[in-house]
Amino acid sequence: MTHVDLDDLADLVLDPDATPDSVREHVESCPECTDRLAALFDVRRLTSGEPLVAPPARVREQVLAQVNDVPGDAPVRPVPLQVAAPPPEVARPRRRVPVWAAGLAAGVALVAGLGLGRTTLDDATTPGRDAPEAVVAAADLTALDSTAGRGVARAVESDDTITLRVQASELGGEDGFHEVWLINVDGERMVALGVLADGDAGEFQVPRGLLDEGYLVVDISVEPDDGDPTHSGVSLARGELV
């Protein structure tokens, strides 16, 4: 069986009325030609939309500057986080993780081999205070844009309350205070637990029901002293209680 050639199939897309019946009949009975015809129609469907938009010239300069920073033959290295300064920030209502840093760091994490899902089995119990207590859940805190450890949070139980003990580390020296949040795994709700008074450690009483409801993601944010009670959007560490 000879297939319809591509030119004829193209004509079937462009000028169906002018296509001989023999071509049409063959295509109808031939899955292969039908597929190719569908592919051509697909192209035609994709021919619309706006023209390409070139990036501003500074992007090119930045690319070349970065490339020149790294010796040409260097293997892919996970480290250089200092990048040429991004273009001047457009005023944003709230700060957030600069995109360029997040992207780079995500790349770093990939290169380093993702080590997600670590669990803390060591030191699973902390010495009790007065009442007998048990660690019911723990979260390894990590940076958001890498797997770098940022401490640990433990939920310990005594009587009917849960105490969340947060021991964070390496949160960085950014201005502002560190606030602890519990985010629900449904992704829609969160509660503020309070501030880490000394910067990286603190204890918070949590109603047991909260954990049962799915508030399991411990989040530490850096909050500017601006009177805004909502999350700043800048999370320094996070981990899920398991």
Partner 1 sequence: MNVPPVEQTPVLLDRRAPRRYVDGVVTGVRDFEEEQDDVVRSLAARLVEGDESALEAVYDRWSALIHTYALRALGDAHDAEEVTQQVFVAAWRSRHTLTPSPSALPAWLVGIARHKVADVRAARARDAGRLAAAVALPEVRHAEEQSKDDEVAERLVVRQAVEELPDPRRTIVLLAFWEELSHAEIAEKVGLPLGTVKSHVRRGLIKLHQQLEGVRHDSRRP
Residues of this chain that bind partner 1 (CB under 8 A): 6-7, 10-11, 13-15, 39-40, 42-44, 46-56, 58-60, 62-64, 66-68, 70, 72-73, 76, 86-87, 89-90, 92, 94, 96-97, 99-100, 102-104, 106-107, 144-145, 183-188, 190, 217, 221, 230-233, 235
Closer residue to partner 1, CB minimum distance, 144 or 201: 144
Distance (Å, rounded) from C-alpha 77 to C-alpha 133? 46
Q: What is the dihedral of CA 103, 107, 108, 113, to 10 degrees?
A: 140
CB of 136 to partner 1, least distance (A): 20
CB of 52 to partner 1, least distance (A): 4
**Of all helices (H) and strands (E), which one includes residue 215?**
strand 215-223
> The tokens of 221 are what?
């944010």
Closer residue to partner 1, CB minimum distance, 6 or 242: 6
Closest CA to 160 of 136, 186, 192: 136
CB of 104 to partner 1, least distance (A): 7
Tell me the one-letter amino acid at 199.
G
CB of 97 to partner 1, least distance (A): 5
CB of 242 to partner 1, least distance (A): 14
> The tokens of 178 are what?
């560190």
Distance (Å, rounded) from C-alpha 203 to C-alpha 193? 9
Closer residue to partner 1, CB minimum distance, 65 or 131: 65
Q: Which residues contact 67 (CB under 8 A, 6 or more apart)?
A: none
Closer residue to partner 1, CB minimum distance, 123 or 212: 212
Residue showing tokens 């619309």: 48
Tell me the one-letter amino acid at 165.
R
End-to-end alpha carbon distance in the chain: 63
Closer residue to partner 1, CB minimum distance, 1 or 85: 85
CB of 240 to partner 1, least distance (A): 9
User: Whats the size of the chain, residue-wise?
Assistant: 242
Closer residue to partner 1, CB minimum distance, 106 or 136: 106
Distance (Å, rounded) from C-alpha 147 to C-alpha 108? 10
